[in-house]
């Protein structure tokens, strides 16, 4: 199968959407499928206001359409709601090419936090963008229900996975961890306002708070919380060691739809503390963590969980299964439609 994936989120960005798409591309190609990624690096772009790491492509729909049509895809997937996918969407609708979309993050809440405008305004955009899609792929049951409530129909499941070769309880913790007061409470992800990191850093619980990741809010948070350890970005086995060496993984976000870092932490045997919101409520079980509107209480509860049970559960998330769910959600294109659109 030949699959065209259009996305506004791609390398060198570091986030869960990019990691998911890169891993899915690898899995699909391993299965024998051909994948074409149409991303902002192919075109001129400008930095996104308040989020300069994201590049906003400046391109006409006809140019994006030519890129897609030249690949002769059997399916087209629009992964994000940004300008590049809007251009691709316009071309698909004009050319009669069916497509699927995905809902990766609570975009209305995220934009509302950055603009101060009501989230309800941005749900109109979400309904408009995803409305013509043959299917909208989403990661969890609670997200599917939320989208239906907001008028987005035809949602299909698309879960996530873990690199089980890298993320194991046997990963070597950073040497720094040996000298830190316990328990070590770990956060991994972007250091940005939408991740609600202050809720973690201000939580009342003894021990050491460790932040792995980078982002626009890092400098201000380092000044505000000098007792926390900010280690910057980590990847692969180094990141796995940070997970495995922590006593609890804390996920303070209220806007993520899944939270890939949670299942990576669990696969390393580390229990999860989080708010009872979309993402954590679909992933964290009573045996593998604790959820509470009081994050300090969630941390205290998660610390008592059995690490072996966490690791077993975390290893149940497979990227192969995720790739198969992605494939089953795609919509086949009549070859004559692509020929006429080329």
C-beta neighbour count of 151 within 10 angstroms: 12
C-beta neighbour count of 172 within 10 angstroms: 13
Question: For residue 45, what pLDDT is reported?
Answer: 79
Contact between residue 213 and residue 233 where contact means Cβ atoms under 8 Å apart: yes
Q: Mean per-residue pLDDT for 63-72?
A: 96
Range of the domain at 225: 175-317
pTM for this one? 0.86
Contact between residue 284 and residue 262 where contact means Cβ atoms under 8 Å apart: yes
Tally of domains within the chain: 2
Instruction: Measure the CA–CA gap between 238 and 173, rounded to whole angstroms.
Output: 8
**Could you tell me if residue 143 is inside a domain?**
yes
Q: Mean per-residue pLDDT for 301-329?
A: 96
Report the percent of the chain where pLDDT is more than 70: 95
Contact between residue 135 and residue 152 where contact means Cβ atoms under 8 Å apart: no
CA separation, residue 63 to residues 34, 91, 325 (Å) = 21, 9, 30
Do 269 and 231 lie in a common domain?
yes
Q: Which residue has the tokens 């303070």?
A: 252
Instruction: Measure the CA–CA gap between 124 and 51, rounded to whole angstroms.
Output: 22
Do 311 and 329 lie in a common domain?
no
Instruction: Measure the CA–CA gap between 240 and 221, rounded to whole angstroms.
Output: 24
How sure is the predictor about 107, in pLDDT bands with cuts at 50, 70 and 90? low
Question: For residue 326, what pLDDT is reported?
Answer: 98
Please say if the pLDDT value at position 108 is more than 70.
no
**Could you tell me if residue 168 is inside a domain?**
no
Do 29 and 156 lie in a common domain?
yes
Please say if the pLDDT value at position 50 is more than 70.
no
Name every residue whose Cβ is closer than 8 Å to that of residue 223 and which is 6 or more positions away in sequence: none
Do 136 and 209 lie in a common domain?
no
Q: What are phi and psi of 217, to 5 degrees?
A: -95, 0
Do 103 and 118 lie in a common domain?
yes
**Could you tell me if residue 220 is inside a domain?**
yes
How sure is the predictor about 51, in pLDDT bands with cuts at 50, 70 and 90? low
Summarised one tens digit per residue, pLDDT across range 260-271 is 999 999 999 999
Please say if the pLDDT value at position 157 is more than 90.
yes
Q: Mean per-residue pLDDT for 178-187?
A: 97
Show the tokens assigned to 40.
Answer: 């902002």
**Could you tell me if residue 204 is inside a domain?**
yes
Instruction: Measure the CA–CA gap between 212 and 229, rounded to whole angstroms.
Output: 9
Do 302 and 335 lie in a common domain?
no
Residue 286 CB burial class (10 angstroms; 0-12, 13-18, ≥19): exposed
**Could you tell me if residue 216 is inside a domain?**
yes
Do 79 and 198 lie in a common domain?
no
Of 270, 279, 277, 282, give the one whose Cα is nearest residue 293: 277
Do 224 and 134 lie in a common domain?
no
Instruction: Measure the CA–CA gap between 298 and 300, rounded to whole angstroms.
Output: 5
Q: Mean per-residue pLDDT for 61-72?
A: 96
Residue 140 CB burial class (10 angstroms; 0-12, 13-18, ≥19): buried
Do 330 and 309 lie in a common domain?
no
**Could you tell me if residue 263 is inside a domain?**
yes
Name the packing angle between helices 119-130 and 83-95 (round to 10°). 40
Do 11 and 154 lie in a common domain?
yes
CA separation, residue 160 to residues 152, 213, 326 (Å) = 21, 20, 10
Residue 250 belongs to domain with CATH number:
3.40.50.2000
**Could you tell me if residue 167 is inside a domain?**
no
Instruction: Measure the CA–CA gap between 230 and 208, rounded to whole angstroms.
Output: 11
Do 36 and 130 lie in a common domain?
yes
Q: Is 32 left (phi over 0), alpha (psi -120 to 50) or beta?
A: left
Question: For residue 194, what pLDDT is reported?
Answer: 86
Do 333 and 312 lie in a common domain?
no
Contact between residue 24 and residue 323 where contact means Cβ atoms under 8 Å apart: yes
Instruction: Measure the CA–CA gap between 159 and 137, rounded to whole angstroms.
Output: 9
**Could you tell me if residue 266 is inside a domain?**
yes
């Amino acid at each position: 199968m030949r699959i065209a994936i259009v996305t506004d989120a791609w390398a060198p960005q570091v986030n869960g959407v990019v990691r998911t798409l890169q891993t899915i591309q690898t899995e699909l190609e391993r299965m024998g499928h051909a994948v074409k990624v149409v991303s902002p690096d192919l075109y001129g772009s400008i930095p996104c206001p308040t989020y300069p790491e994201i590049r906003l492509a400046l391109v006409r729909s006809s140019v994006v359409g030519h890129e897609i049509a030249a690949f002769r895809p059997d399916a087209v997937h629009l992964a994000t709601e940004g300008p590049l996918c809007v251009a691709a969407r316009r071309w698909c609708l004009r050319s009669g090419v069916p497509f699927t979309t995905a809902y990766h993050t609570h975009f209305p809440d995220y934009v509302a936090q950055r603009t101060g405008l009501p989230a309800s305004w941005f749900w109109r955009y979400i309904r408009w963008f995803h409305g013509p899609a043959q299917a909208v792929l989403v990661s969890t049951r609670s997200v599917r229900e939320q989208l239906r409530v907001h008028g987005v129909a035809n949602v299909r499941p698309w879960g996530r996975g873990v690199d089980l070769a890298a993320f194991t309880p046997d990963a070597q913790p950073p040497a720094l961890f040996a000298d830190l007061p316990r328990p070590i409470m770990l956060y991994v992800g972007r250091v940005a306002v939408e991740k609600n990191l202050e809720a973690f850093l201000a939580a009342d619980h003894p021990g050491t708070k460790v932040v792995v990741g980078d982002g626009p809010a890092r400098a201000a948070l380092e000044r505000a919380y000098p007792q926390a350890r900010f280690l910057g970005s980590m990847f692969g086995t180094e990141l796995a060691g940070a997970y495995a060496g922590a006593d609890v993984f804390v996920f303070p976000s209220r806007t993520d739809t899944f939270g890939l870092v949670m299942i990576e932490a669990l696969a390393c045997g580390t229990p999860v503390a989080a708010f009872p919101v979309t993402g954590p409520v679909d992933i964290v079980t009573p045996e593998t963590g604790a959820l509470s509107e009081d994050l300090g209480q969630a941390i205290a509860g998660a610390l008592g969980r059995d690490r072996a049970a966490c690791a077993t559960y975390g290893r149940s998330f497979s990227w192969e299964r995720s790739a198969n769910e992605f494939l089953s959600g795609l919509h086949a294109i009549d070859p004559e439609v692509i020929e006429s659109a080329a």
